[in-house]
Amino acid sequence: MPFYKHKESGSLVSFAAVLSTSIIGVVVSAVNIYKEMINLKKKCQSGCEHSTGKPIRLVTGAAIFIAGIACEVLSLDIYATVSLFIAAYAILGYKVIFYALKNIVKGRIFDENFLMALATAGAFAIGEFPEAAAVMLFYQIGEYFQGAAVRKSKRSIVELMDLRPDYANIMLDGELVKVAPDTLKAGDVIIVKAGEKIPLDGIVTDGEGTLDTKSLTGESMPRTVRPGNTVLSGCVNQDGRLTIEVTKPFGESTVAKIIELVENAGNKKARTENFITTFARFYTPVVVILAALLAVIPPLLLSGDWSEWIHRGLVFLVVSCPCALVLSIPLSFFGGIGNASRNGILVKGSEFLEALNNLDIVVFDKTGTLTKGAFEVTNVYPAEEFSVDQVIGYAAHAEFFSNHPIALSIQKAYSGIIDKAAISGYKETAGYGISVTYGSKKLLAGNEKLMISENIVFNETNDSGAKVYISVDGQYAGCIVISDELKPDSRDAVVALRSKGIREIVMLTGDNAQSANKTASNLSIDKVYSQLLPHEKVEKLEMINTSKREKGKLAFVGDGINDAPVLAGADIGVAMGGLGSDAAIEAADIVLMTDAPSKLPVALDIARATRRVVRQNIIFSLGVKAIILLLGAAGIAGMWGAVFADVGVSLIAILNAMRLLRMRF
């Protein structure tokens, strides 16, 4: 029974009691909320997580609401019951009221916050205190679920700043001194020892070494540098000692450009406008005007009972609250995000799941994305008088003392036991290869330049990848090809994407043209652009972006630090989360935790299922509300209809949305 019709509600003393207990409940709640906000502000200032406020508010408000329901069911003191509902409403709905008032001040009157505030105020006016509190409770539950999903998959982009080198080595008074990289200028000379990161772009003036450029350019093969070669900041010197003349200050270096590109691309990325806000912008003024007209026009024209028509108008307003939409739409996306997480796919927000439905072009990185990102022996071509096992054995002994990635891949491919005692005379020549004495045999292992310099006649192979030629006592023994193998599901991923209507598949990579073209050919990729630096990848992505269909979306899939700017600049950035860099994962909108490109088509299926459920909830919610609104205006449906049209429809929509968590893809 509505409170205003309760048998004791006519008493002035009763009214005063209800009012006083309600005020006490609201004041206590307001004080607690104020304290909580102060604590959260302090936590934010100290850099701590600040996601605990909403659970505290939600649990407290829900507990008070349940207590109020218990009091009502047990027919306990009506004043205490009403006070509990008001207190629960204050705790759960103060932000809705706050934003409604704030938006009114800014001139944005008709949004979902305003309608919920007005509808619940109407519920209070007709004595439906449980309804008003329940609306805010269900709304906060939906908000919490979606917020929890987003918070779970988002982290700070702090790791990207770890790209900054901590120091640079310069020679002062005959000693190496560490200085801050941003204190140096063009023309200064720095020293980079083995294992150190190159802090600034420059030119090698002395020394030879092998650079690991994979994290910067995506190039899978280590790069040998010598005097005269240009080197980029962010590369790691694997061996040797390099003297480098700085050509650019730190602010203009490659690493600094990557950081700037990520920040700028993130600022330019458009966000899909929330559907319910757009809907409420039109829906809210219409229902408010209709409710006002329903309350005023009939009694004026028909000389009817004002209280009856005002009651109908308030019922109309309560029914019109878009609770089912406000809850079911984010919960539908939450269900989709939850299902994606179960499949090893982290989606950082509902807008990215929604954007997948309009996917038109998919752009892949190569190394670590379509390929394994690890060196393996893929082919062995022995000379006539040698076997495959002999070639691998000689190469493994020759490379035993080397820590080069190619040497390690050869040692891994050898199944025998290496006789370390038989190896002597180890000598490594940068840019050529290795020579050792194994027992009484002289072994050479290196590139074609080593064979030519030793006047050894060899058979050159055209395979893509790194090639190690082996000779024994001056006789050519064979060639070992080391390359980055395709992931086992890369082909399936490309085929599945095409079957789902993706119009174009492109590959951008820092790898050499021969290796890139071979990979693209094996996977039937439409276009390939190779030997690209990070800023060139961004330029190519912008070019490709102009060719997408109207309302179409472009997704970029990558894993390295060099991919971070492109991931941030794409409509949908997809990162490999298993072996991918932290910077790439942070810049991305979707993370494939298993490093499997075939998970992208699965994400597409989940996005489409989510869209279907969202549409079902929209049609069902609006359809039922339209019927109950008409019945309420006619005086046929009272608050029972309002409760069903609001809470009942909301629960049904929520159950439908949560089906997404149980779907299998």
Burial 128-159 (b: 16+ CB within 10 A, else e): bbbbbbbbbbbbbbbbbbbbbbbeebeeebeb
Tally the C-alpha atoms within 13 A of residue 255's C-alpha that lie toward its C-beta: 26
Angle at 101 between CA 295 and CA 278, to 5 degrees: 75
d(CA 156, CA 381): 49
447, 451, 452, 454: CA torsion to nearest 10: 140
Tracing tokens 């290496």 back to the chain, one arrives at: 418
Residues 6+ apart with CB under 8 A from 630: none
Tell me which residue of 604, 648, 657 sits closest to 628, measured CA to CA.
648
Tokens of 595: 């490093």
Tokens of 108: 């944005």
The Cα-based distances of 124 to 6, 129, 457, 587 in angstroms read 14, 5, 95, 46
Question: Letter for the amino acid at 310?
Answer: I
Find how far residue 277's CA is from the centre of its chain: 23
DSSP string covering 496-557, please? HHHHTT--EEEEE-SS-HHHHHHHHHHHT-SEEE-S--HHHHHHHHHHHHTTSPTT-EEEEE
Tell me which residue of 464, 501, 257 sits closest to 378, measured CA to CA.
464
Angle at 171 between CA 169 and CA 177, to 5 degrees: 50
Burial 466-486 (b: 16+ CB within 10 A, else e): bbbbbbbeeebbbbbbbbbeb
Tracing tokens 């607690």 back to the chain, one arrives at: 32
3-state secondary structure 30-81: HHHHHHHHHHHHHHHHCCCCCCCHHHHHHHHHHHHHHHHHHHHHCCCCHHHH
Tokens of 578: 């298993």
Phi and psi angles of residue 583, each rounded to the nearest 5 degrees, phi first: -65, -40
Contact criterion met (CB below 8 Å) for 312 and 290: no
DSSP string covering 197-212, please? BP-S-EEEEE--EEEE
The residues that are catalytic are 365
DSSP string covering 48-60, please? ----SHHHHHHHH
Element (H, E) at 288: helix 275-302
Residues 6+ apart with CB under 8 A from 468: 395, 406, 410, 433, 445, 446, 447, 479, 480, 482
Tell me which residue of 538, 543, 508 sits closest to 526, measured CA to CA.
508
Tell me which residue of 105, 124, 102 sits closest to 113, measured CA to CA.
102
Angle at 552 between CA 343 and CA 279, to 5 degrees: 85
DSSP string covering 252-276, please? GSHHHHHHHHHHHHHHH---PPPHH
d(CA 467, CA 481): 5
d(CA 395, CA 471): 9
d(CA 192, CA 178): 11
Question: Letter for the amino acid at 153?
Answer: S
